[in-house]
Chain A
Amino acid sequence: MKMRTFKHGIHPNDGKALTADAAIQPFFPKGEAVYPLSQHIGAPSKPVVAVGDTVTVGQMLAQPDGFISAAVCSAVSGKVKAIERRRTVNGKEVKSIVVDNDGLFTPCEGYDTPRDYTTLSPGEILDIVRDAGIVGQGGAGFPTHVKLTMKEGVQPEYILVNAAECEPYLTSDYRLMLERPEQVLEGLQVLLHMFPAARAVIGIEANKPRAISLLTEKTADTPRISVQALDTKYPQGGERMLIRAITGREIHATKLPISAGCVVLNLSTVVSIGQAVCHRIPQISTVVSITGDAVANPCNLEVPVGSSQREVLDFAGGLKAEAEKIISGGPLMGISMISLDVPILKTSGAILAMQRDEVAMWEPTACIRCGRCVRACPEFLLPPMLSQAADSGDWESFEKLYGIECMECGSCTFVCPAKRRLTQSFRTAKATLNDKRRAALNKG
Chain B
Amino acid sequence: MANLSTAPHIRGGLLTSTIMRDVTIALLPALVMGVFVFGLRALLVIVLCAVTSVLTEYLYRRLMKLPQTVSDGSALVTGLILAMNLPATVPFWIPVMGSVFAILVVKQLFGGLGQNIMNPALAARCFLLISFPALVGAGMPAVGNLFREGAWQFVSGLTVDAVTGATPLQMLKDGQTVDLLQAFLGLHSGCIGETSTLAILVGGVYMLCRGVISPRIPCIYLASTIGFIALFCAVTDRALTANFLVGQLVTGGLMAGAVFMATDYTTSPITAWGQVIYCVLIGLLTALFRVFGSAAEGVSYAIIIGNTLVPLIEKVTIPRAFGKRGGAK
Contact = CB atoms under 8 A, between A and B. Distances in A.
A331 B8 contact: yes
Contacts of A353: 2
B3 A325 contact: yes
Given A359-B5, A368-B265, A370-B19, A250 B323 contact: yes
A365 B8 contact: no
B319 A338 contact: no
A360 interface: yes
A333 B6 CA distance: 8
Nearest to A234: B8
Nearest to B267: A369
B64 interface: no
Contacts of B74: 368
B322 A333 contact: no
Contacts of A325: 2-3, 5, 9
B64 to A, nearest CB: 15
B12 to A, nearest CB: 5
A414 B120 CA distance: 29
A382 B11 contact: no
Interface string B12-24: 1011101100000
A175 interface: no
Interface residues of B, number: 40
A417 B8 CA distance: 15
A221 interface: no
Interface stretch (B37-45, B108-116, B162-170, B295-303): B108-116
A168 to B, nearest CB: 7
Contact of B12 (A12, A336, A402, A423): A12
A331 B10 contact: yes
Given A368-B113, A369-B270, A424-B6, A380 B11 contact: no
Interface stretch (A66-74, A155-163, A251-259, A435-443): A251-259
A337 interface: yes
A252 B112 CA distance: 37
A378 B14 CA distance: 20
B323 A360 contact: no
A255 B9 contact: no
B328 interface: yes
Interface string B290-329: 0000000000000000000000001000111111111011
B7 A414 contact: no
Interface in A215-258: 240, 244, 250-253, 255
Interface stretch (A31-39, A281-289, A405-413): A405-413
A336 B4 CA distance: 6
B271 A374 contact: yes
24 contacts: A10-B12, A240-B322, A253-B321, A253-B322, A325-B3, A337-B2, A359-B11, A366-B115, A368-B19, A368-B74, A368-B266, A369-B265, A369-B270, A374-B270, A382-B319, A385-B314, A402-B324, A410-B7, A414-B12, A416-B11, A416-B12, A417-B18, A424-B5, A427-B6
Interface of B: 2-12, 14-16, 18-19, 69, 72, 74, 112-115, 265-266, 270-272, 314, 318-326, 328-329
Pairs of residues from A and B, 3 with the lowest C-beta to C-beta distance, nearest first = A410-B8, A252-B323, A402-B321
